[in-house]
Amino acid sequence: MLMKFGDVESAERIFRSIETKNIINYNAMIRGYAGNEMCEKALGLFEQIHLSLTNVTYTIVFNCCAKLCNDRARKIGKELLAKMPENYRNDN
């Protein structure tokens, strides 16, 4: 919610205070960064995730890659596509 109002610092402070982060926490932060035109930060946080990804994660990160359209974003997008489970690719 804080990210929707542009309060990135407070959202980051709360995120850092969470001891055991889950994929929902990461997705919220990545989506918040993307919504605040901070896709580089979003990809940086994505690279720190050591959890199973969800279809939400894939969607947010692919959107960031498309917005940035630089070498790093292309690399991450290609790697993510290669790791994506088949059922996510074929899901309607």
Query: Is residue 86 very low, low, confident or very high in pLDDT (cuts 50, 70, 90)?
Result: confident
Whether the per-residue pLDDT at 92 is higher than 70: the answer is no
In this prediction, residue 1 carries a pLDDT of 79
Give mean pLDDT, residues 57-62.
97
Instruction: Give kind and range of the element (H or E) at residue 20.
Output: none
Whether the per-residue pLDDT at 69 is higher than 80: the answer is yes
Cα–Cα distances in angstroms (integers) from residue 90 to residues 24, 56, 84, 86, 87, in the given order: 23, 15, 11, 6, 5
- Sequence-distant (6+) residues with CB within 8 A of 73 are 39, 43, 64, 65, 66, 67
